Structure 1
């Protein structure tokens, strides 16, 4: 028996050096938007700014500071097959850098059979992943 049963993941903490630049990047690249507001217009560095996906379900909180070292700190966002294909067709893109520090290209696609992913860095070096589990339409679309 569990002590508690959460109903969903609420948010993930990410650390950035330049909060305004990070907000701009997450808005341009992932279509995220600010979620909620603090009482003041410019919150102090120890207060996060929350960004939500278009449907408002999944949220990241951006803190100003150095990102923690060690361990896997990947934040994964789910895409349907059409959105995943559309993303692949945008590559390479100036805002997208792979984990190796080089521009992300279609060759950066990871096909695990049951899932397909693209992995890249945000401007602060946080690991971002886009994942789809509806892989057959993606494979067909990429082969066309």
Structure 2
């Protein structure tokens, strides 16, 4: 039976990215994780913050107006489990945020990790993430897609 490993990160939407980054660093002692620097640019840029041992990660992104909907919860799994989760989600006809059924071509290659995003029946967003990137890239024949 499939099992989720642990929570990888939680998305937090803010109206002022610089102010939020300063607050999270000052108050919660969360600093930017430089491995994710390439994900900061673009209209949906994300700054990944983490604690000193990497056990807590928040992905903060800026929105133009206040957002009341929750950010997504990302679960961490192994590469093999990642493939099995894709098949499980596809078999259950789970959809992504765009309303498309999750499939192996829904995987996003973030250069050193892979993710698959989906929503529950109420629109709450989730992700499954694996850092077994090299292995998954070979198995899925991934071509990098923008994050």
TM-score when normalising by structure 1: 0.47
Greater Rg by CA? 1
